[in-house]
Structure 1
Amino acid sequence: MDGIIIVNKEKDKTSRDVVNYLNDFFEMTKIGHAGTLDPLATGVLIITLGKCTKLTDLLTGHDKEYIATMKLGLRTDTYDITGKITSQEDVNLNFDEIKQSVNHFLGEYEQEVPIYSAVKVNGKKLYEYARNNESVELPKRLVKIKEIEIIKIEEEIVTFRVLVSKGTYIRSLINDIGNYLGCGATMIELIRTKQGEYSINDSYTLKDIVTNNYKFIELNEYLKIFPSQQIDESNEKLIKNGALINKTFDDKYLVYYEGDKPIAIYQEYIKDNTKAKPFMMIN
């Protein structure tokens, strides 16, 4: 059973909860997910099964779209509504001020990782430092806000759509918007509506899956989104053995086939951009 299922994660479940549930349902151990959603969040969670677990890093790297709702004038230690309130104030901002502050974050910026996260520093998860009240320097990541637009504003509640690169924390983005405004802001709702090619319209609840009302995306179907080439006599042995080959493609990834059978996914070799190396051996 090698493939992908697009799950619509429900609120208050962790991504690991979903994996464990489907692990028991499908009675298989080779199962994972491509991109953690906080318990508060709902929406697209890509589940990988069998050989497709090797695609996790590739799937995680896809851009992600969210519908996020924040409350202005409120700060918490977790940057979302589940955390402890650290400050609260009245807000008197107009639409243009809020819009300008939201649009300020379009493009690339250095985003500080929230302390309530599973990112490790010196072998220890950040949330462990927080729970033990220990100080730690929070790492920063270069992230890209590719699109952002306000959907509606109702007093201090703002809902917006955002398209982001891998590694972007939406609750950190909201915290940064709040700091830029000067009043603070906290995430109160988050829906992941899209990841790469897959939309929430393509997703299924756990109830759908256990009642056999879902679509299973097979490995070969997923690979169709990538450019491809047939192996030939000049590279067959090298590719089948997972060796370096001369790079003959401009795209980030290329799938090599033997007839209808996928053999490997190749990517550029960082140490020599004239060469390509296997990203994943399929057979």
Structure 2
Amino acid sequence: MNGLLILDKPAGMTSHDVVNRVRRATGEASTGHLGTLDPMATGVLPLLLGRYTRLAQFFGAMEKSYTGTIRFGYSTDTYDAEGAPTSSVVPAALSLEAVRAAAREFSGEMLQTPPAFSAKKVGGTPSYKLARAGNAKPLKPVRIFIHEFTIANCSGDLAEFAIRVSAGGYVRSVAHELGQRLGCGSHLASLRRTAAGRFTLKDALTLDQLAELAQDSNLEAWLPHPRSLLPDLPSVTADLVTAGRLRNGVAVNLPDFSAAPLVKVFSNQRNLVAIGKRIAGTLFQPMVVVG
């Protein structure tokens, strides 16, 4: 089975756990996700199935949107509710105006330090492995862009928020740093990803829905049409001879005059053969062969 699958990830599972569930449900061993979600988080998790896993590089870095809650009063080592407290618990009854004023400082381009409990590599080792062993190393700040960060409500020690952030941004770090700005500890209490790039919750299946569709052999018909994937790349249709040459790694002429550097090459309406790279004019070489 080849295609793109958008899942609504449940809480309490790692992204790798979800991949394993999809493999069992679909029988497709070649399955991979396009960016992890923390075990605590729920929501949009895009996955590629079968030979479409070869397309991962073309999806690029995706902007993400989330909703969630931040708890004030103490910080944790993971910057979320699953971590161990790193500060004393203090009463934190903040006003909505005070929280919104502090949140306005998290806007536009900024440097952000990733959490120690993250997949960032330190000398080739994931930072979270070093942190779990009590040997956490300082991580270098990375440049991110926060397009939107709004506080919808604040009651007691909890604030509800919505955020839209560039690839590489950690909502946990935003939650942690917001508490620092307000003079109290804080951490991420809950998180739901509502969109990853063009993919939203409207496109997503639950694991139960996936299992039901897979059992009834209806899953493939539910997946997005292959020509709708990577919409920034033009689609061209090749005849059987040309498609065969592409599969063998041979450069071919294709009926495309868009001047785009990359094109999706189909042998019919649904069968994606390859991603072709323009050499000159209408001459393309296969960059990735899919089918």
> Partner of 1:10 in structure 2?
10
Provide Cα deviations, 1:173-222, integer angstroms capped at 9, x if missing partner.
11121222221210010001111222112211111111118664256243
CA distance in 2, matches of 1:82, 1:257: 46
Q: CA deviation at 1:277?
A: 8.8
CA distance in 2, matches of 1:154, 1:68: 14
CA distance in 2, matches of 1:222, 1:44: 18
Structure 1 unmatched ranges of 5 or more: 270-275
Q: CA deviation at 1:223?
A: 2.5
Q: Does the 8 Å contact 2:114/2:139 carry over to 1?
A: yes
CA distance in 1, matches of 2:277, 2:156: 49
- Structure having the higher strand fraction is 1
Moved segments of 4+, more than 3 Å: 57-60, 213-216, 229-232, 239-243, 248-269, 276-283
Moved more, 157-166 or 251-260: 251-260
Q: Given the superposition, is the C-alpha separation of residues 85 and 253 from structure 1 closer, same or farther in structure 2, using an over 3 Å criterion? A: farther
Q: How does 1:39-54 map to 2 (within 5 A)?
A: 39-54=39-54
Q: With the length of structure 2 as denominator, give the TM-score of the two structures.
A: 0.81
CA distance in 1, matches of 2:141, 2:90: 28
| Number of matched pairs | 274
Q: CA deviation at 1:141?
A: 1.6
> Partner of 2:156 in structure 1?
155
Provide Cα deviations, 1:202-249, integer angstroms capped at 9, x if missing partner.
2111111111186642562432622416489xxx89x94487x9xx87
The answer on 1:217 being equivalent to 2:220 is: no
CA distance in 2, matches of 1:226, 1:19: 27
Provide Cα deviations, 1:248-269, integer angstroms capped at 9, x if missing partner.
8787965456775655446899
> Partner of 1:273 in structure 2?
none
SS at 1:19's partner residue?
helix
Q: Given the superposition, is the C-alpha separation of residues 176 and 266 from structure 1 closer, same or farther in structure 2, using an over 3 Å criterion? A: farther
Moved more, 214-223 or 25-34: 214-223
The answer on 1:226 being equivalent to 2:227 is: no
SS at 1:80's partner residue?
coil
Structure 2 unmatched ranges of 5 or more: none
CA distance in 2, matches of 1:116, 1:252: 39
CA distance in 2, matches of 1:72, 1:17: 30
Provide Cα deviations, 1:148-171, integer angstroms capped at 9, x if missing partner.
222211122111111111111111
Provide Cα deviations, 1:74-104, integer angstroms capped at 9, x if missing partner.
2011101111111122225322221121121
> Partner of 1:83 in structure 2?
83
Q: Given the superposition, is the C-alpha separation of residues 176 and 263 from structure 1 closer, same or farther in structure 2, using an over 3 Å criterion? A: same
Q: CA deviation at 1:20?
A: 0.7
Moved more, 218-227 or 29-38: 218-227
CA distance in 1, matches of 2:287, 2:66: 28
The answer on 1:132 being equivalent to 2:133 is: yes
> Partner of 1:98 in structure 2?
99
> Partner of 1:282 in structure 2?
290
SS at 2:231's partner residue?
coil
> Partner of 1:175 in structure 2?
176
Q: Does the 8 Å contact 1:116/1:127 carry over to 2?
A: yes
Identity of aligned residues (%): 30
CA distance in 2, matches of 1:242, 1:223: 24
CA distance in 1, matches of 2:190, 2:133: 27
SS at 2:208's partner residue?
helix
Q: Given the superposition, is the C-alpha separation of residues 242 and 182 from structure 1 closer, same or farther in structure 2, using an over 3 Å criterion? A: farther
Q: With the length of structure 1 as denominator, give the TM-score of the two structures.
A: 0.83
